[in-house]
Amino acid sequence: MSRAAGTASEELEAVPVPGSDPSQGFRALFEPRGVAVAGASSHPGKFGFVALHNILRHDFPGPVFAISLSGEEVLGLQALRSADELPDGGADLVVVCTPAAANVELLRACAARGVKAAFVTTAGYGEAGTEGERAEAELKEVAHELGVLLAGPNGQGLISTPASLCAQIVAPYPPPGRIAIVSQSGNFVSSFMNFAIQTGIGVSRAVSAGNASATTVPDYLAYYADDPATAVSLAYVEGLPDGRAFFDRIRPLAARKPIVVLKGGASPGGARAAASHTGALAADDKVFDGACRQAGVIRAATVEEAFEAAATFATQPLPRGPRVVVYTSAGGWGVVTADAISHSSLELLPLPEDLRADLDARLPPRWSRNNPVDLAGGETRDTIPECMELVARHPDVDAVIYLGMGIQSNEARLMPRAPGRPLRRGRGDGVGGDRQARVDRHRAGRYPSRQPGPGHRAGHGPSLLLVRQPRCRRP
């Protein structure tokens, strides 16, 4: 169902729609004042039922309209027989679940009533042969002419947690958070949102780009880059016929906000031009890899890794450098984390003498006296945060990986002064987290200091973040 991720947008930019600006369309898509569902149905198997049901169920606060030829009552709403019956300016987003043949007329009627964005779930377009391609081209042209932002077609919809909007034909609705998702595969959107539900690390916006005929993956990423509700973008792409245009567009975006990319469909592109060794070695995956590095885009190998990377960026401040202290009350976790660090570009900081002495003064003699700082069961609910503070404040320490798995740390979590709290706080009263967040703010935007939810893999997640941090440009 996918289509080029970098093709249509340039045209849109080159020929601005008279009297509309693209941000208006995106605002209508993700922060609509009112929503209409075209093709609303009382049949639970129909897209027009599910989309409307989801919008109502997740308490979209603005007006919701059902449009159905039958004029029946759907989910307690009296359906309008036509988009002509929409009140002027009542809905700025329409979720289209009607057959392809009806959609051009529908768009015109909706636009006349003030609709600025349309998500078209309808299939049977470019993915379905020549006839469908023609219909899709017409739909795109009409949307362009009307100044309506066209999302899809052949996509499963979108969600926007700041707007309490669940306008999609599938169920998962994630908790609010700061990850923004765009995918050329609708099902991957669902997978990412299911991870969000499992981990408690939430999502700001998520959209299934469908055929991406008018609004492409880079277009959404451009919106996310300026979206105050979003800290990190997470994209699934496949088949990039113009990989260069894709990277030309997302490179400046990645400099503003982290972008995590998962790519499907590695093709042996370079192997075709085997006249040179270089060409033979240029399987497109390797070139894509290099292009990601060059653009400062974080490439993930799997769906899980992609979500973890995004989750970590959404919840942790960026470290200012590679020198890490592992702080633990569980020896084994400290050891495996140290191993992971040794296979990365991070450094396990040899414990500075003054820090060692400070810790010595507070811990019983059996602690590790080196990095990993293994408290070895000698900790108490008071010394855990105290020592953490000492470590985090030390000027040589760029980042702390805290693996709090001991009995004492669990107990301490229940106490008023929990071990995680000093690091969890925002700027102003925090300790290490405060300093680290401030250091990186200028480079990569602002990061929340929300602690991962209980389902998040505490040891792995932060390590992943540190390993995958965007490159630091050397002078």
Q: Is 244 in the site for another protein (CB under 8 A)?
A: yes
Mask of contacts with another protein, 290-309, x by CB under 8 A?
Answer: xx-xx---------------
Q: Minimum distance between the CB of residue 380 and another protein, rounded to whole angstroms?
A: 43
Indicate the residue among 269 and 378 with the shorter CB distance to another protein.
269
User: What number of CA atoms fall less than 13 Å from residue 188's CA on the CB side?
Assistant: 27
Among 97, 282, 348, 359, binds another protein (CB under 8 A): 282
Indicate the residue among 276 and 410 with the shorter CB distance to another protein.
276
Indicate the residue among 343 and 428 with the shorter CB distance to another protein.
343
Count of residues engaged in binding another protein, rule: CB under 8 A: 31
Q: How far, in Å, CA of 453 to CA of 456, rounded? A: 6
Q: Which residues lie closer than 8 Å to 449 by C-beta, 6 or more apart? A: 315, 316, 317, 423, 424, 425, 426, 430, 433, 437
Q: At what angle do helices 331-342 and 460-467 cross, to 10 degrees?
A: 20
Indicate the residue among 146 and 466 with the shorter CB distance to another protein.
466
Q: At what angle do helices 129-146 and 100-112 cross, to 10 degrees?
A: 0
Indicate the residue among 266 and 357 with the shorter CB distance to another protein.
266
Would the CA dihedral through 387, 392, 397, 402 be positive or negative?
positive
Indicate the residue among 20 and 344 with the shorter CB distance to another protein.
344
Using the rule CB under 8 A, give the single segment among 75-83, 105-113, 300-308, 467-475 that binds another protein: 467-475
Q: Minimum distance between the CB of residue 296 and another protein, rounded to whole angstroms?
A: 10
CA angle at residue 159 from 158 to 161, to 5 degrees? 160
Q: Minimum distance between the CB of residue 96 and another protein, rounded to whole angstroms?
A: 32
Helices and strands, number each (H, E), in the chain: 18, 18
Among 242, 339, 354, 360, binds another protein (CB under 8 A): 242
Query: For 76-99, b where at least 16 C-beta lie within 10 A, e where not — what string?
Result: ebebbeebeebeeebbbbbbbbbe
Using the rule CB under 8 A, give the single segment among 90-98, 186-194, 234-242, 332-340 that binds another protein: 234-242
Task: From residue 422, give the alpha-carbon distance in Å to each of 54, 200, 392, 415, 432.
Answer: 39, 21, 10, 13, 8
Q: Minimum distance between the CB of residue 326 and another protein, rounded to whole angstroms?
A: 24
Q: How far, in Å, CA of 399 to CA of 392, rounded? A: 7
3-class DSSP assignment, residue 45: coil
Q: Minimum distance between the CB of residue 287 and another protein, rounded to whole angstroms?
A: 5
Indicate the residue among 281 and 415 with the shorter CB distance to another protein.
281
Indicate the residue among 179 and 282 with the shorter CB distance to another protein.
282
Q: How far, in Å, CA of 214 to CA of 219, rounded? A: 9
Q: Minimum distance between the CB of residue 241 and another protein, rounded to whole angstroms?
A: 7
Indicate the residue among 81 and 471 with the shorter CB distance to another protein.
471
- Using CB under 8 A as the binding rule, the residues of this chain from 42 to 81 that contact another protein are none
Dump strand ranges (E) for 43-104. Answer: 64-67, 73-74, 77-78, 93-96
Q: Minimum distance between the CB of residue 288 and another protein, rounded to whole angstroms?
A: 8
Using the rule CB under 8 A, give the single segment among 8-16, 135-143, 281-289, 391-399 that binds another protein: 281-289
Q: Is 443 in the site for another protein (CB under 8 A)?
A: no
Q: Minimum distance between the CB of residue 347 and another protein, rounded to whole angstroms?
A: 15
Using the rule CB under 8 A, give the single segment among 200-208, 238-246, 323-331, 384-392 that binds another protein: 238-246
Indicate the residue among 248 and 358 with the shorter CB distance to another protein.
248
152, 210 in Cβ contact below 8 A? yes
Among 16, 87, 176, 241, binds another protein (CB under 8 A): 241
Antiparallel, parallel or unpaired: β 35-38 and 93-96:
parallel
Using the rule CB under 8 A, give the single segment among 57-65, 93-101, 242-250, 453-461 that binds another protein: 242-250
- Using CB under 8 A as the binding rule, the residues of this chain from 250 to 279 that contact another protein are 269-270, 272-279
Indicate the residue among 301 and 414 with the shorter CB distance to another protein.
301
- Using CB under 8 A as the binding rule, the residues of this chain from 382 to 421 that contact another protein are none
CB count in 10 Å sphere of residue 472: 13
Q: How far, in Å, CA of 458 to CA of 328, rounded? A: 12
Distance of CA 106 to the CA centre of its chain: 31
Torsions phi, psi of 284, nearest 5?
-60, -20
Indicate the residue among 294 and 410 with the shorter CB distance to another protein.
294
Q: Is 289 in the site for another protein (CB under 8 A)?
A: yes
Torsions phi, psi of 399, nearest 5?
-155, 150
Contact positions vs another protein (CB under 8 A): 240-244, 247, 269-270, 272-282, 284, 286-291, 293-294, 471, 473-474
